[in-house]
A and B are shown apart, each in its own frame.
Chain A
Amino acid sequence: MDETLGTHQPGPALMLPDVLDLRAAAPLAAELMARRGQDTELDASRVRKLGGQCLQVLLSAQVCWQAEGRRFRVVAPSSDFTEGVALLGASSLLPTFGA
């Protein structure tokens, strides 16, 4: 598991790891599941790569949070993250917010 994922990061934002690939998907889902029912911010400032499976996790979690009336925000996206979301055609589905 990537050590940058969440637990070592102070504050409420979940720090997304730099590589969101196949291997990051399960840890990311677990981290998010642990925060279920809470307003959640994800800090995407370090992300260099975004793959399809992590995008799935983010999209599904976002829907779940919204359905439960909780806030789910991706903040401080790196240009790579924004580019990756656009590349995967998800810009309109996964809005991001400045830091």
Chain B
Amino acid sequence: MDPMAAIRDTFFQECEEQLGALETGLLTMEGGDCDPETVNGVFRAVHSVKGGAGAFGLDALVRFAHVFETALDDVRAGRLAPDGRVLGVMLRAADALADLVRVSRDGGATDAERDRLLVEDLKALSGSPQPQAPQPDAVASGSADGGDMDGFAFQPLRFELDAPPAPAEQNWTVRFRPEAGLYAKANEAAVLLRELGRLGSALVTLDASALPSFPDLHPEGAYLSWTIDLATAQPESAIREVFEFVEGDCELDIAPAAGQPPGDTGGIGDIDLAALIQQSQATMAAAPVAPGVGAPRAAEPAPDTGIPNPGRASRPADAATAPASKATIRVDLDRVDGLIDLVGELVINQAMLAQRVSEAGLPRSSNVALGLGDLEQLTREIQDSVMAIRAQPVKSVFQRMPRLVREVSAMTGKPVRLLTEGEGTEVDKTVIEHLADPLTHMIRNAIDHGLERPEDRAAAGKPADGTVRLAARHRSGRIVIEVSDDGGGINRARVRASAVAKGLIAPDAVLSDEETDNLIFLPGFSTAETVSDISGRGVGMDVVKRSIQALGGRIAIASRPGQGSTFTMSLPLTLAVLDGMVVSAGGQTLVTPLTAIIETLQPRTGDVHSLGSGATVIAIRGTFIPLVDVGVALGYRAEPLDPARGITLLIENEGCARAALLVDAIQGQRQVVIKSLEANYRRVPGVAAATILGDGRVALILDVDAIVAASRSAAGQAPEFTPAAGFAHV
């Protein structure tokens, strides 16, 4: 990849992070927390986007970010109170900034009129004449394609200001030693020094003592370092901000000057220069005119010249004073996926080995069996660690929602407050990627259909602002995400009437409240009298349900009239492995997800009752639960198994309704690696995926909900067997 394109890609990835931080910070401020660190964080985010955009000549982005940043600076300096009106403008500005970033990356155009009005609003916030927007040269002299990546045009700027420092000024000593990587990433020491100079009065002292002799010099190496005596009223964080793009590519020490007279720190005087010349002469005497000597050493530290170097004397402290941020690396996702696949193979291989050992009749206490146990433990740990690499907080999806809420709120004229909880809950990246669409739809739906109009809310004695809550948490090895609103709840009469009108249910069907609520998940169902721009985009709750199910998840709804509705999604933490119960049914080996199983039991003949329409129920502790013969349901055999000769697995589906699966036998419990059947073959009803067992055979993983649902529809002529009849509610 073109290095410039790679840097550009990284810039846009970082923009996404900065935009997320910006939105989070603004929302925190909106929530009343205007801690200086929060405000600084918000400022930094916009500043970083601007800085990067400047390097790539993205002028429109730079101009907008500059105005935004100016208003934020006023907030930071206490000149502008961050009240609701100010934050409203800033949140809209954050949306516009995100659009500008997107357009800069993908092409297209933003709403210029909206951007212009926002710029005016932002300027009006500051209420004072704006500092001049940066000259194009100041931020980027390069073309948009990055052909000229220097971005450090000269500007008239004095570094030794004669004006007396303002009373609040503090003296800082900044020691800065770029590494070769800093330059290689299109950063430039001169630009950083100029930025630093903007903070106050700066006295820059160059330390060239690490400079090698000319034949040994690698032109793209980094040998110079600087000590800057800076008098500024800005806090240390402002100084660090200057270096935030280069933190990993330089040695940096920022410390209060501690009474040192300016100019007394390091530097190189005549003595050093003389020493350099001396050293150079010595080197050349040893190796006269030999261009080949001294191979390029771009990334190596500068060679020790043996020259006293006061500028570096304090460096050992650098490590202690450097910001204690966790080191991270960006890794191509394909590499991680490749690793996960390999670990999956390792798990399968380990299982096969265990099976062979078991078949060989080795006792459990044998060294081989014990060693294998250790290997299994280790394999599982490796697998967990690898999975953890892909795990990400749901924050990346959650933070897209405030904007959606603002937009839908504006379109519907319903004021909405979005509360989020558990943003740090981690789940596999693939799950996260598939969460955005269903969540977007559910939140739209919650505002459009769930929340009442403000006047209706007032009449019901509710606050005018509706509340939509988005929460995530871990529960029993799954992630549970809830979208709830404090609206009017599902209008069951209307839902029922709509379902009857659409022929989805018979006019005389007897449905429980829960079943009525669940009608909204039926394909083709919509209660909206007019198709609105918001929810009526051809995506119904049935699509939401299908996409959740495709992830191995379940969705349930709970609604209370007048109090609101809660949609609960339960999803696996990973799509790569599954803890399963291996069973046999109709001569086939199948895997049932362990999370669905509540208990297993041996049915007694007297507990099983046939209901005449092909449906069977089993009495478990006084409750009748539908019994599904898995072998029959999947078509492995025509004749049902005698329940007394089988085993039942009591399972719970998404609606907390229970069913009992009848299988021939249980083989054991193990972790299996999920292989997509859809990707490798095609979708099969009743089957979620496949796996490879220890003996090398392919086993299908049951889609428990689908099997239960299919058996219910098969017994559809007998509606009394549905949960409405009260059998399944335990």
> Interface residues, chain A, CB within 8 Å of chain B?
19, 21-23, 25-26, 28-29, 32-33, 36-37, 48-53, 55-57, 59-61, 63-64, 66-68, 79-80, 83-84, 86-90, 93
**A32, A51, A53, A93, most chain B CB atoms within 10 A:** A53
Chain B proximity of A83: nearest CB distance (Å) = 5
Q: Which one of B122-130, B203-211, B331-339, B467-475 contacts A?
A: B203-211
**Chain B residues, Cβ within 8 Å of A86:** 159
Among B244-276, those with CB < 8 Å from A are: 267-268, 273, 276
**Chain A residues, Cβ within 8 Å of B215:** 33, 64
**Chain B residues, Cβ within 8 Å of A53:** 183, 219-222
Q: Is A87 in contact with B223, judged by CB distance below 8 angstroms?
A: no
**B183, B184, B217, B267, most chain A CB atoms within 10 A:** B217
Smallest CB-CB separation from A32: which chain B residue? Answer: B214
Contact of A57 among B189, B217, B291 (CB under 8 A): B217
Considering the complex of A and B, which 3 residue pairs feature the smallest CB-CB distances, nearest first?
A: A64-B214, A89-B206, A52-B189
Among B462-483, those with CB < 8 Å from A are: none
Given A52-B183, A67-B281, A84-B190, decide whether A26 and B154 contact each other with a Cβ distance below 8 A: no
Contact of A59 among B150, B205, B211 (CB under 8 A): B211
Contact of B213 among A23, A26, A63, A93 (CB under 8 A): A63
Q: Is B289 an interface residue (CB 8 A)?
A: yes
**Chain A residues, Cβ within 8 Å of B194:** 87
Given A64-B284, A89-B204, decide whether A19 and B273 contact each other with a Cβ distance below 8 A: no
A37 to B110, CA, bound (A): 59
**Chain B residues, Cβ within 8 Å of A52:** 178, 183, 188-190, 222, 224
A1 to B229, CA, bound (A): 37
A55 to B154, CA, bound (A): 15
Q: Is B624 an interface residue (CB 8 A)?
A: no
Q: Is B409 an interface residue (CB 8 A)?
A: no
Q: Is B276 in contact with A63, judged by CB distance below 8 angstroms?
A: yes
Given A53-B222, A64-B214, decide whether A89 and B205 contact each other with a Cβ distance below 8 A: yes
A22 to B298, CA, bound (A): 12
Q: Is B720 an interface residue (CB 8 A)?
A: no
Q: Is A51 in contact with B206, judged by CB distance below 8 angstroms?
A: no
Smallest CB-CB separation from B158: which chain A residue? Answer: A86
Chain B proximity of A64: nearest CB distance (Å) = 4
A28 to B219, CA, bound (A): 8
Q: Is A21 in contact with B188, judged by CB distance below 8 angstroms?
A: yes
Q: Is B280 an interface residue (CB 8 A)?
A: yes
Smallest CB-CB separation from A20: which chain B residue? Answer: B150
Q: Is A37 in contact with B289, judged by CB distance below 8 angstroms?
A: yes
**Chain A residues, Cβ within 8 Å of B156:** 83
Contact of B214 among A49, A61, A87 (CB under 8 A): A61
A57 to B212, CA, bound (A): 10
Chain B proximity of A16: nearest CB distance (Å) = 14
Q: Is A80 in contact with B154, judged by CB distance below 8 angstroms?
A: yes
A25 to B150, CA, bound (A): 12
Contact of B280 among A28, A50, A51, A67 (CB under 8 A): A67
**Chain A residues, Cβ within 8 Å of B211:** 56, 59-60, 63
Chain B proximity of A8: nearest CB distance (Å) = 20
Q: Is A60 in contact with B212, judged by CB distance below 8 angstroms?
A: yes
> Count the A-B residue pairs with Cβ separation under 8 angstroms: how many?
129
> Interface residues, chain B, CB within 8 Å of chain A?
141, 148-150, 152-154, 156-157, 159, 178, 183-184, 186, 188-190, 193-194, 197, 204-206, 208, 211-215, 217, 219-224, 226, 267-268, 273, 276-277, 280-281, 284, 289, 291
**Chain B residues, Cβ within 8 Å of A67:** 277, 280-281, 284
Chain B proximity of A6: nearest CB distance (Å) = 15
Chain A proximity of B282: nearest CB distance (Å) = 9
**Chain B residues, Cβ within 8 Å of A50:** 190
Can you list 11 A-B contacts with CB-CB less than 8 angstroms, sorted by A residue number? Answer: A25-B220, A51-B150, A53-B222, A60-B212, A60-B213, A63-B276, A63-B277, A63-B280, A64-B284, A87-B193, A90-B208
Smallest CB-CB separation from B291: which chain A residue? Answer: A33
Chain A proximity of B295: nearest CB distance (Å) = 14
Chain A proximity of B232: nearest CB distance (Å) = 17
**Chain A residues, Cβ within 8 Å of B154:** 48-49, 79-80, 83-84, 87
**Chain A residues, Cβ within 8 Å of B183:** 22, 51-53
A63 to B223, CA, bound (A): 14
Contact of B150 among A22, A26, A79, A87 (CB under 8 A): A22
Q: Is A87 in contact with B190, judged by CB distance below 8 angstroms?
A: yes
Q: Is A93 in contact with B184, judged by CB distance below 8 angstroms?
A: no
Given A89-B205, A89-B206, decide whether A29 and B190 contact each other with a Cβ distance below 8 A: no
**Chain B residues, Cβ within 8 Å of A32:** 214
**A33, A57, A60, A86, most chain B CB atoms within 10 A:** A60
Q: Is B190 in contact with A57, judged by CB distance below 8 angstroms?
A: no
Smallest CB-CB separation from B285: which chain A residue? Answer: A67
A39 to B1, CA, bound (A): 42
Smallest CB-CB separation from B156: which chain A residue? Answer: A83
**Chain B residues, Cβ within 8 Å of A48:** 153-154
**Chain A residues, Cβ within 8 Å of B268:** 93
Chain A proximity of B537: nearest CB distance (Å) = 49
Q: Is A88 in contact with B205, judged by CB distance below 8 angstroms?
A: no
Contact of B217 among A56, A83, A84, A87 (CB under 8 A): A56
Smallest CB-CB separation from B288: which chain A residue? Answer: A68
**Chain A residues, Cβ within 8 Å of B208:** 56, 59, 90, 93
Chain A proximity of B609: nearest CB distance (Å) = 82
Chain B proximity of A82: nearest CB distance (Å) = 9
Given A51-B190, A52-B178, A89-B206, decide whether A63 and B159 contact each other with a Cβ distance below 8 A: no
Smallest CB-CB separation from B212: which chain A residue? Answer: A60
Chain A proximity of B361: nearest CB distance (Å) = 69
**B141, B183, B193, most chain A CB atoms within 10 A:** B183
